[in-house]
Structure 1
């Protein structure tokens, strides 16, 4: 199998328009964790009335997430991370989720 360089890597439509944005959403939620937690807490406390009572928290969360979604540098960072993960998979044949699992210590 020949080596694939990052410069030669061509992304498919589904990777650019679906998979990388999915990674961006996951990372944006991590970066906006405080606002995610505030919104979740408000929803749990408000029950049925959360639509009315949690508008402020929802707006703050949306603003934080949208800021990341529209950031071209953030897209590029996520794209590079996606490419690195894909290149690693092509080299090893092991999916990222399996590589990140901890090995048992009692072997």
Structure 2
């Protein structure tokens, strides 16, 4: 059963198979909403949605070294525009939220972080 343990200056989730919280709990803390889910959104937008804009900006920066601030404004604006479009997309936000909730649930169920699970899978191969 999910419980909350309160100690000096902190609230900690306990319960679940590894005492890390209920794997089926779908409530989000403030840090998850404002930091962790937007991080997933940023990473996915850069690697899946705005690939061409990222490549153009990186290429411009490499080609122009210290002058990149002046010469790569158009590429930077295009990248910002693309990222902003995806950050505002409600369906994309919900997808990223679901990804986060699945990862958190798996962590609470197994007690292993995503990195550790991936390392264990790599060792098996």
Does the alignment reach a TM-score above 0.5?
yes
Runs ≥4 in structure 1, deviation > 6 angstroms? Answer: none
For the residue of structure 1 that corresponds to 2:123, the secondary structure is: coil
Equivalent of residue 19 in structure 1, options 17, 21, 36: 36
Count residues with an aligned counterpart. Answer: 103
The equivalent residue for 2:85 is 67
The equivalent residue for 2:123 is 103
- Structure-2 separation of matches of 1:12 and 1:49: 42
RMSD, matched Cα:
1.5
Contact 2:23 2:104 survives alignment (8 Å): no
For the residue of structure 2 that corresponds to 1:66, the secondary structure is: helix
Scaled by the length of structure 1, what TM-score is found?
Answer: 0.87
The alpha-carbon deviation at position 4 of structure 1 amounts to: 3.6
Structure 1 residue ranges without an equivalent (≥5):
none
Equivalent of residue 48 in structure 1, options 63, 66, 85: 66
Scaled by the length of structure 2, what TM-score is found?
Answer: 0.76
The equivalent residue for 1:90 is 108
- Structure-2 separation of matches of 1:33 and 1:94: 31
Structure 2 residue ranges without an equivalent (≥5):
1-15
Give the number of the structure whose alpha-carbon radius of gyration is greater.
Answer: 2
The alpha-carbon deviation at position 35 of structure 1 amounts to: 1.1
